Amino acid sequence: MLRSMYSSISGLKNFQQKLDVTSNNISNVNTFGFKKGRATFSDMVSQQIAGATGPTDTRGGSNPRQVGLGAQLSSIDTIHTQGSLQNTNRELDLGISGDGFFRVNDGEQDYYTRAGNFYLDAEGDIVNSNGMYLNDGDGETINIPTNARSFSIGSDGTVNYVDDGGELQEAGQISLIQFPNPEGLQKAGNNLYQETDNSGEPEDPVVPGEGGSGQLVAGTLEMSNVDLSEEFTEMIVAQRGFQANTRGITTADEILQELMNLKR
């Protein structure tokens, strides 16, 4: 009786975590470059009632008899599928069509992001919304002089500007970073990812569109890859799973009550 109750409790915990992941996906449905999460479960160790026996000359074999002890959280995956590109017609909004990450730096540590809403600071450096510098292939900042008349960013990441003399100059080239296992990256908040032991070290920076990387699309931003219809379905599944496990606890409690009432 108590075994079934504890199995249901493990189910409650799992579906609560699934609901947490689903709710986080929905809350980030309009977050640029956000990649949705997915919770998966696995069964826990099963209690052995009887082992398997092989066939003999006089009797056939029998299968093992086991009772499961509940479920556990197996993984929370980050799904790195492509989000749709939204047109903004803003020069410093950059969407990645394909694989790869922008590399930004806070002066001490490198971070990686798919959110391409960049800005110019007072000195003409390209930064993200938190003031982190966008790096080129050599890990240097990209600077557009404050007296530049105009600038543009090509699909290969080349940043050009027209100086005050009317001459076309190159400010640098935005490169993309790839990882052996991008799903192994750790979310650091603010649309940023960090390298982990399981993501592998970042590969050499590549020109957008080369080496299997995606292309840059200036004037666009990559939207979240969250599908609301899918998330609401998963929310219903989590709710019903949670309710079903509460019924298991209630049923076990009622049977325990019947046992308690045997002696009056």
- CA dihedral sign, ordered 181, 176, 193, 107: positive
Residues 213, 100 share a domain: yes
- Residue 236 inside a domain? The answer is yes
Residues 216, 125 share a domain: yes
Residues 89, 217 share a domain: yes
In tens, the pLDDT along 201-230 reads 999 999 999 988 999 999 999 999 999 999
pTM for this model (two decimals): 0.89
Residues 82 and 79: their CA atoms lie apart, in Å, by 9
Residues 10, 136 share a domain: no
Residue 80 tokens read as 């790195």
Helix ranges, the chain (H): 2-27, 228-260
Q: Which residues of 172-198 are buried (b: 16+ CB within 10 A; e: fewer)?
A: bbbbbbbbeebeebeeeeebbbebeee
Total number of domains in the chain: 2
Residues 253, 208 share a domain: no
Residues 93 and 78: their CA atoms lie apart, in Å, by 24
Res 48 pLDDT > 70: yes
- Residue 247 inside a domain? The answer is yes
Average pLDDT, the chain: 94
- Residue 59 inside a domain? The answer is no
Residues 153, 215 share a domain: yes
Q: What percent of the chain has pLDDT over 70?
A: 99
The average pLDDT across 150-160 equals 94
The average pLDDT across 65-74 equals 92
Residue 1 pLDDT: 62
Going by C-alpha positions, the residue among 216, 257, 250, 232 that lies closest to residue 97 is 216
Residues 115, 74 share a domain: no
Query: 161, 147 in Cβ contact below 8 A?
Result: no
For 122, phi then psi, to 5°, come to -65, -25
Residues 191, 119 share a domain: yes
Domain range holding 249? 2-48+66-80+226-260
Length of the chain counted residue by residue = 264
